[in-house]
Structure 1
Amino acid sequence: MTQHREPILLDVGWKHMVAGIRKLERILDGKPGVAFKSEGYMNLYTTIYNMCTQKAPHDYSQQLYERYKMALDDYITSTVLPSLREKHGEFLLRELVLRWKNHKVMVKWLSRFFNYLDRHFITRKSLLPLKAVGWSSFETLVYDELKATVTSIVIAMIDEDREGQIIDRTLVKNVLDTYIELGQDSTITVHRSGPDSGSKLYSEDFQDAFLQGTVDYYSKKAQTWIVEDTCPEYMLKAEGCLQKEKERVAHYLHSSTEPTLMEAAQGELLAKHVDQILKKENSGSKVLLCDEKVEDLSRMFRLFSRIKDGLPPVSKTFQEHVNEVGVSFLKQAVDAATSMKKEKKDVVSALELDYVRIIIDLHGKYMAYVLNCFQNHTLFHKALKEAFEVVVNKDVAGCTSAELFTSYCDSILRKGGIEKLSDEAIEENLDKVVKLLTYISDKDLFIEFHRAVYLKMEGMLNDICVAKENQTKYDEYISTNPELHPSVDLSVQVLTTGCWATYKSSDINLPSEMVKCVEVFKEFYQSFTKHRKINWIFSLGSCNVIGKFDAKPIELILTTYQGALLLLFNEAEKLSFSEIATQLNLSEDDTARVLHSLSCGKYKIIIKEPCSKTISPNDIFEFNRKFTDKMRRIKVQLPPSDEKKKVIDDVNKDRRFAIDASLVRIMKSRKIMIHQNLVAECVEQLSRMFKPGIKMIKRRIEDLITREYLERDKDAANSYRYLA
């Protein structure tokens, strides 16, 4: 038999609910000893359940839904708003954060008490959920009243943060999170349109005013800094400000703020002052290029790449600077050529040594700017290209750049140039020249007029490319035929006879370790080129050998001759000069040079008897087991041959001529100079080619005085006068 339940009247049931709500308010206010137990919670839930499931006219679902909102509104009006209205500044912000936190807790608990409404009545009637009603109540009564004041306080705090003052960033974030959270419930979806309603509320009520404040703040800063600071100082401050604005987004602003915030700050700091920054007197972009301020130029690129049309003015200045520097060197080359003609010297050879190398170095320098300072940007590649097209298409003392470049390449390819470059260095130099040749307008004339040299160069470049491919094939050949694998690794560069200079070599008797390497490579190479004959030039080879010394093993970087000689001591304790020469099948001169490098030079890897600084046919040699060095890897140089000594002498002659030409150019333009200034300027001019010694410059000055190019100034001590 079902027991009849008396209906709970609205006022009676609501009185019971009010008691529960008051208890919840005391808990939120931090009253001690107040808490909900499970029986009390279930009692309140059951009361609502019963009042909503009673038969008409006692189904109070609609009334309870309305009184739920009324209870929240009453608490806000009687407790929350009075507490907020008496607070100001940061205290108001802290109180707002606390009240919002408490309000969320209150809505959470009340929604549990009234849960039956959410599950049945609200769904059936398509009404706002209880949580949304609670959010809407706080927004309407609290947020709408205080948002303007709160926004002003937050913006003022952020300005203090910008000025370097310490603010409570957590407080600012919590306040702004209130803007976001209030917009995330379904009530905002109804009242406000847009895919991200929370961001829209934050955007309209805070972000718009904040961005205007940002514009005002940086407008004032920029106007002051642009007057007081140099270009590098201004850029450093601007970059620092922009970086800190990004950090502010990470610390307490919504992520959606970052694009518009950065645009506003960049607009005031950079976009509105492009010309003033770049053309700053004594410190603008042109001065930075002249003074080679790489770090400042990199910063300039980073900053101006942020704004629309910020880079073209920078690239234009870069192009003008490169053009001016190139033309300046062109003028110096013409002056030098004029001087050489008077002395009946080979103009082309001298210009090849001077002008071409300077232009190559100049291009390398500014290409490094493009790659590093300007982050490989196409705009700066274009600027560099257009600047060098002007420079390299001018004639130099009757010689075209094409002629000078070709002569230079021919010199490099035939004999490695003055420095006797390695194969890698030759390839690198040719690559640099080829890049410059792309700027020449008369390419067809260049190819036709210098066809023989061009073809020769093409053959050498082809050899270098093919050598890399052959090495890869050889490595694969060894890996697929492990039984052929030699005891040491081998790298071989095969060159075509006729495209390269003739090198001195000898039929040296290689050690067994090296012989196997050679035989395996010959077998590999002849497997696909049977009609070609390999002539080994061991004089150009190098090898790495591990020396097992008592103290520690040391890796020795040697020539093939040096390595072969050292390996003889694996089979003998002592060897005479003649025994070494015989076993290696080397001439006495070559044997003496190799032994000198290993026993009389910086590293005494072999002990010589008797001890002296020269090699004699009667000497006896022994491996120095007690040898040690602080390095674990050392390179043992061969002493220069007679041919190298001649080259060094030629270089010194050219350097003397270069110093003479530099001194005359300087004095011709200045007429009178004191000694220290003349020396300093000469060093600066020549430092791109070599660093002349002070004593050498003094000797050249004395020689020019003797030859009546200069004279000592009778009226000023330690000064010189140019003689026309």
Structure 2
Amino acid sequence: MAMHERKTIDLEQGWEFMQKGITKLKNILEGLPETQFSSEDYMMLYTDADGLFVCVSEPSTTCARKKPPHDYSQQLYDKYKESFEEYISLTVMPSLREKHDEFMLRELVKRWSNHKIMVRWLSRFFYYLDRYFIARRSLPPLNEVGLTCFRDLVYNEIKVKVRDAVISLIDQEREGEQIDRALLKNVLDIFVEIGLGNMECYENDFEAAMLDDTAAYYSRKALNWIMEDSCPDYMLKAEECLRREKDRVSHYLHSSSEPKLLEKVQHELLSVNATQLLEKEHSGCHALLRDDKVDDLSRMYRLFCRIPRGLDPISQIFKQHVTAEGTALVKQAEDAASNKKAEKKDIVGLQEQVFVRKVIELHDKYLAYVNDCFQNHSLFHKALKEAFEVFCNKGVAGSSSAELLATFCDNILKKGGSEKLSDEAIEETLEKVVKLLAYIGDKDLFAEFYRKKLARRLLFDKSANDDHERSILTKLKQQCGGQFTSKMEGMVTDLTLARENQSSFEEYLSNNAQASPGIDLTVTVLTTGFWRAINRLISIFLLRCVLALCFCTSMLVKCVEVFKEFYQTKTKHRKLTWIYSLGTCNINGKFDPKTMELVVTTYQASALLLFNASDRLSYSEIMSELNLTDDDVVRLLHSLSCAKYKILNKEPSTKTISPTDYFVFNSKFTDKMRRIKIPLPPVDEKKKVIEDVDKDRRYAIDASIVRIMKSRKVLGHQQLVMECVEQLGRMFKPDFKAIKKRIEDLIA
């Protein structure tokens, strides 16, 4: 389009025409009879406004040649503002002043909406003014001028009345009345929009007072509810209040108010009354835990996790409750053990089955609380751990928790154990036992007891399932580290290799008939490093044979020699040490009533074989022939003459063995069974285990001290002790006096 010279319009003439257009716009906004703007009307107003403004552009344009006095830009800018001021003072404010409360709010919304329309239309009329004059002078744009007029002349005068009216409506809604939420949304949008891009007006002129009113409202409510309601009822009301306040934000409050509003409600309903609420006598946190109110506990967590340190008192109550329940289990087990009129073995069985099983059930229950009610929060995991550490490290009837756990595992894993469980249930139970082990301070004591029982299961073929044996070792390894299980894993591997070795031995005998000892012989070769207290390589002599009592002990010697010859064909670099005390024999006893098969230890078999040559032997003669210690001789003779099966008659017939006793083969012995097992009296291994563990601990403390000092070179005594405790804490809790003693010995 070709450039053309714009007409120059006189200010008074031009403004008079503009005034008519503005008046028409006002009439339309006021709802007075008036024709709508046509496109011709709009173009006339736009052109006149353009004519009153002298465009300043590039020198080559025709607009650049217009000079004052025809540039009315500043006057036009001022009159634009005056138009709003006049309309507000003559029309808007009178209409607002004569209305109150909700009616005033409706009028305000209407006036604000009209004002924005008026600003938009006039800004279009004066487009060139906005684009060139204002930009060149760095003046506020027309839109901002129009909105600022409303803020200065309307908003600043009535904002307090508007705020109070809105807060009053909110309180009415809180009391259950129906209000016009859309109206509140529109009113509060004014507080936001009037800030022209920042939230100061909304925050200072409305939100601050609204939050104060909210705090006062819920403070009054909490005062009544805490006195009248139970803890669960109070929490239901608090949760509902928070839900409604959040709903309020979504419907008419600005989204930025949500965290501040909820914080006020939480503070007044929860923080202020937390102690009184949680410790309510018949319905507080203790009662909810006691009565297994999982839904209420979940609600308590949801409410108190929102407030700073709100979970601390709940976790402490949880810890106290679990500790009390666990301690009650310990006392119950102690009472049951002290009242039990049975053998110690039965008492230990009771402890392992009842006490450990109940501790596992207790852990299952409260671990579910932590995971479900308390959403796996670390604070409650810590509380559960600390609670279980308190009572899990208490002994029961003289047995430590470490021993009870090891015995419990043994009962699950051995053949014929009292725990009749499916494979899946065994795996699940073993997993739970390993979790309990995490709370035991003396993990090394558990390891030693477990190794003892594992050895018996493996050596005497009492293990029910090799897969379960390996499975629990994997779990223990994950829990306590590879060093914890290395020897146990070696023991299991040894038995696998021993079976292969036995197959080779049987093949050797079949190929060397002249080397056969004439009886069935099974030998288990084990590595000393995995089996405590034996140096280098040991051979456990497990002899299963069928002998007549007329045979002598030379047969046993021949068995040993045959196996030695075989083993030398496999290796010449290992030494066999024979542990006869762990051997077993099946021998035939020819009694007058009938011949019976006796399952006995190698020592018992050797003692019985002596009576093939003599009918009557003294204690000293038996001891001399067998070349055993007093303790061993007393145990085996007691098992043969004073226990359930009296294979030998003792003179005199008392219940104890003494060096002056004589023994005679009981040819009249009989039993309804054809095959009987004659056990040795049980040995209290607990003392030996504890002694071994104490010795290992001294070595561990020494090693820890040396490691620390090699790394640090110079260290204060107290810091050395603390670092030593920290290093050893995973396996046991070392005594400070023991560490001090080891330091002194190392210095010496």
Structure 1 residue 18: Cα displacement: 0.8
Structure 1 residue 413: Cα displacement: 1.1
Compared CA separation, residues 464 and 322, structure 1 to 2 (3 A): same
Greater displacement, 23-32 / 39-48 = 23-32
Q: Determine the C-alpha separation between the residues in 2 that align with 1:3 and 1:274.
A: 80
1:184-213 Cα deviation digits (max 9, x unpaired)? 2xxxxxxxxxxxx43222111111111111
Q: Determine the C-alpha separation between the residues in 2 that align with 1:430 and 1:4.
A: 98
1:383 aligns with 2:383: yes
Which residue number in structure 2 is paired with residue 44 of structure 1?
Answer: 45
1:148-184 Cα deviation digits (max 9, x unpaired)? 1100111111111111211111111111111111112
Compared CA separation, residues 467 and 312, structure 1 to 2 (3 A): closer
Structure 1 residue 223: Cα displacement: 0.9
Give secondary structure in 1 for the equivalent of 2:69: coil
Structure 1 residue 344: Cα displacement: 7.3
Which residue number in structure 1 is paired with residue 213 of structure 2?
Answer: 213
Which residue number in structure 1 is paired with residue 316 of structure 2?
Answer: 316
Letter of the aligned partner of 1:119 in structure 2? R
Structure 1 residue 417: Cα displacement: 4.9
1:278-320 Cα deviation digits (max 9, x unpaired)? 1112111111111111111111111111111211111111111
1:519-555 Cα deviation digits (max 9, x unpaired)? xxxxxxxxxxxxxxxxxxxxxxxxxxxxxxxxxxxxx
Letter of the aligned partner of 2:45 in structure 1? L
Q: Determine the C-alpha separation between the residues in 2 that align with 1:340 and 1:51.
A: 113
Structure 1 residue 498: Cα displacement: 6.0
Letter of the aligned partner of 1:278 in structure 2? L
1:225 aligns with 2:228: no
Compared CA separation, residues 6 and 374, structure 1 to 2 (3 A): closer
Q: Determine the C-alpha separation between the residues in 1 that align with 2:263 and 2:141.
A: 40
Which residue number in structure 1 is paired with residue 439 of structure 2?
Answer: 439
Which residue number in structure 1 is paired with residue 270 of structure 2?
Answer: 270
Letter of the aligned partner of 1:73 in structure 2? E
Structure 1 residue 9: Cα displacement: 2.0
CA contact (8 A) 2:27 2:34 kept: no
Structure 1 residue 420: Cα displacement: 2.7
Structure 1 residue 416: Cα displacement: 7.8
* Pairing 1:300-315 to 2, within 5 Å after superposition: 300-315=300-315
CA RMSD, 1 decimal: 2.6
Letter of the aligned partner of 1:141 in structure 2? L
1:468-525 Cα deviation digits (max 9, x unpaired)? 9xxxxxxxxxxxxxxxxxxxxxxxxxx99969xx9xxxxxxxxxxxxxxxxxxxxxxx
Letter of the aligned partner of 1:21 in structure 2? I
* Pairing 1:527-542 to 2, within 5 Å after superposition: none
CA contact (8 A) 2:218 2:265 kept: yes
CA contact (8 A) 1:51 1:58 kept: yes
1:369-404 Cα deviation digits (max 9, x unpaired)? 111111111111111111111111111122222222
TM-score (norm 2): 0.59
Q: Determine the C-alpha separation between the residues in 1 that align with 2:343 and 2:468.
A: 37
Letter of the aligned partner of 2:112 in structure 1? W
Letter of the aligned partner of 1:412 in structure 2? I
* Pairing 1:476-495 to 2, within 5 Å after superposition: none
Q: Determine the C-alpha separation between the residues in 2 that align with 1:224 and 1:424.
A: 54
Compared CA separation, residues 173 and 4, structure 1 to 2 (3 A): closer
Structure 1 residue 58: Cα displacement: 2.4
1:129 aligns with 2:130: no
Q: Determine the C-alpha separation between the residues in 2 that align with 1:4 and 1:260.
A: 60
Give secondary structure in 2 for the equivalent of 1:256: helix
Q: Determine the C-alpha separation between the residues in 1 that align with 2:103 and 2:259.
A: 31
Which residue number in structure 2 is paired with residue 176 of structure 1?
Answer: 188
Which residue number in structure 2 is paired with residue 350 of structure 1?
Answer: 350
* Pairing 1:150-299 to 2, within 5 Å after superposition: 150-184=162-196, 197-299=197-299
CA contact (8 A) 2:360 2:433 kept: yes
Give secondary structure in 1 for the equivalent of 2:86: helix
Give secondary structure in 1 for the equivalent of 2:282: coil
Q: Determine the C-alpha separation between the residues in 2 that align with 1:183 and 1:365.
A: 56
Gapped regions of structure 2 (runs ≥ 5): 55-65, 476-491, 500-748
1:109 aligns with 2:110: no
CA contact (8 A) 1:199 1:256 kept: no
Q: Determine the C-alpha separation between the residues in 2 that align with 1:402 and 1:125.
A: 87
Q: Determine the C-alpha separation between the residues in 1 that align with 2:100 and 2:20.
A: 33
CA contact (8 A) 1:148 1:205 kept: yes
Which residue number in structure 2 is paired with residue 64 of structure 1?
Answer: 76
1:8 aligns with 2:9: yes
Which residue number in structure 2 is paired with residue 34 of structure 1?
Answer: 35
Q: Determine the C-alpha separation between the residues in 2 that align with 1:5 and 1:121.
A: 17
Structure 1 residue 462: Cα displacement: 6.7
Letter of the aligned partner of 1:438 in structure 2? A
1:621-675 Cα deviation digits (max 9, x unpaired)? xxxxxxxxxxxxxxxxxxxxxxxxxxxxxxxxxxxxxxxxxxxxxxxxxxxxxxx
Structure 1 residue 251: Cα displacement: 1.1
Q: Determine the C-alpha separation between the residues in 2 that align with 1:322 and 1:60.
A: 86
CA contact (8 A) 1:151 1:206 kept: yes
Structure 1 residue 144: Cα displacement: 0.5
Letter of the aligned partner of 2:323 in structure 1? N
Structure 1 residue 463: Cα displacement: 4.0
Which residue number in structure 2 is paired with residue 76 of structure 1?
Answer: 88
Compared CA separation, residues 466 and 383, structure 1 to 2 (3 A): closer
Which residue number in structure 1 is paired with residue 23 of structure 2?
Answer: 22
Compared CA separation, residues 216 and 416, structure 1 to 2 (3 A): farther
CA contact (8 A) 1:48 1:114 kept: yes
Compared CA separation, residues 5 and 114, structure 1 to 2 (3 A): closer
Which residue number in structure 2 is paired with residue 413 of structure 1?
Answer: 413
Q: Determine the C-alpha separation between the residues in 1 that align with 2:101 and 2:361.
A: 63
CA contact (8 A) 2:134 2:141 kept: yes
Structure 1 residue 255: Cα displacement: 1.1
Structure 1 residue 450: Cα displacement: 3.0
Structure 1 residue 123: Cα displacement: 1.0
Greater displacement, 392-401 / 122-131 = 392-401
Q: Determine the C-alpha separation between the residues in 2 that align with 1:35 and 1:416.
A: 101
Greater displacement, 46-55 / 409-418 = 409-418
1:20-52 Cα deviation digits (max 9, x unpaired)? 011001111123452000111111111111111
* Pairing 1:552-701 to 2, within 5 Å after superposition: none
Greater displacement, 97-106 / 260-269 = 260-269
1:97 aligns with 2:98: no
CA contact (8 A) 1:179 1:198 kept: no
Gapped regions of structure 1 (runs ≥ 5): 185-196, 469-494, 503-724
Structure 1 residue 55: Cα displacement: 3.5
Letter of the aligned partner of 2:231 in structure 1? C
- Displaced runs of 4 or more, over 3 A: 2-7, 342-345, 415-419, 452-468, 495-499
Letter of the aligned partner of 1:205 in structure 2? D
Give secondary structure in 2 for the equivalent of 1:341: coil
1:562-605 Cα deviation digits (max 9, x unpaired)? xxxxxxxxxxxxxxxxxxxxxxxxxxxxxxxxxxxxxxxxxxxx
Q: Determine the C-alpha separation between the residues in 2 that align with 1:313 and 1:240.
A: 23
Q: Determine the C-alpha separation between the residues in 2 that align with 1:328 and 1:161.
A: 51
Structure 1 residue 341: Cα displacement: 2.9
Larger radius of gyration: 2
CA contact (8 A) 2:192 2:198 kept: yes
Q: Determine the C-alpha separation between the residues in 2 that align with 1:88 and 1:298.
A: 46
Letter of the aligned partner of 2:272 in structure 1? K
Give secondary structure in 1 for the equivalent of 2:198: helix
Q: Determine the C-alpha separation between the residues in 1 that align with 2:231 and 2:449.
A: 49
Give secondary structure in 2 for the equivalent of 1:198: coil
Give secondary structure in 2 for the equivalent of 1:450: helix
Give secondary structure in 1 for the equivalent of 2:53: helix
Which residue number in structure 1 is paired with residue 517 of structure 2?
Answer: none
Which residue number in structure 1 is paired with residue 158 of structure 2?
Answer: 146
CA contact (8 A) 1:84 1:92 kept: yes
Letter of the aligned partner of 2:387 in structure 1? A
CA contact (8 A) 2:159 2:205 kept: yes
Structure 1 residue 453: Cα displacement: 3.2
CA contact (8 A) 2:88 2:153 kept: yes
Letter of the aligned partner of 1:117 in structure 2? L
